[in-house]
Amino acid sequence: MKIGSKPAVAVVSALFLFYLYLLIKIILFKFGEVSVTFVWEQFSKSAAHPSRAVAGLLHGNLVPFRTISDSLQRPTFHNMVNLFGNIALFVPFGTMAAILVPNLFVSLLMAFGFSLSLEISQAVLSMGTFDADDLVLNAFGGLTGYWLYQIARSLLPMRTVLHKH
């Protein structure tokens, strides 16, 4: 089945949606149960008390490269998992985006936009901490996935099979 065919695009799109669900489960719900009721309750609390949402943003890291620098200066296991985990989590994003939307800028913008929506959700819904470095690392992961796909596509003899036209 060629990736450019309608059935293949449907399969990759379905895999991409499932992957996005997994990202939400990992990043927002910390591997726990995905609960729309819980999200609604958190949103209601933030809507009733907007200062709570603002505090959630201000409590986080708003300075790019601060967490990355701290992690590299103090390379504990936790810091390295956080650093490389944020990159690795978004490599599949870049790969699937490259298949579905073969444009570097659009793929990178998609990865950054989804990461931004997750980071803001964490802060506003009190489900985690906003970290500007997560945006950088997630976007880099998306870019890495995009590049890996392009490299694989150029090395494989049937590169047209792997690319949507």
Determine if the pTM surpasses 0.85.
Answer: yes
Distance CA 163, CA 165 (A): 6
Indicate the domain borders of the chain. 6-162
Q: What is the mean pLDDT of residues 111-124?
A: 96
Q: 128, 122 in Cβ contact below 8 A?
A: yes
Backbone phi and psi for residue 61, each to the nearest 5 degrees, phi listed first: -95, 110
Residue 164 has pLDDT above 90, yes or no: no
Say what the pLDDT of residue 161 is. 44
66-73 vs 132-155: helix axis angle to the nearest 10? Answer: 80
The pLDDT mean for the chain works out to 91
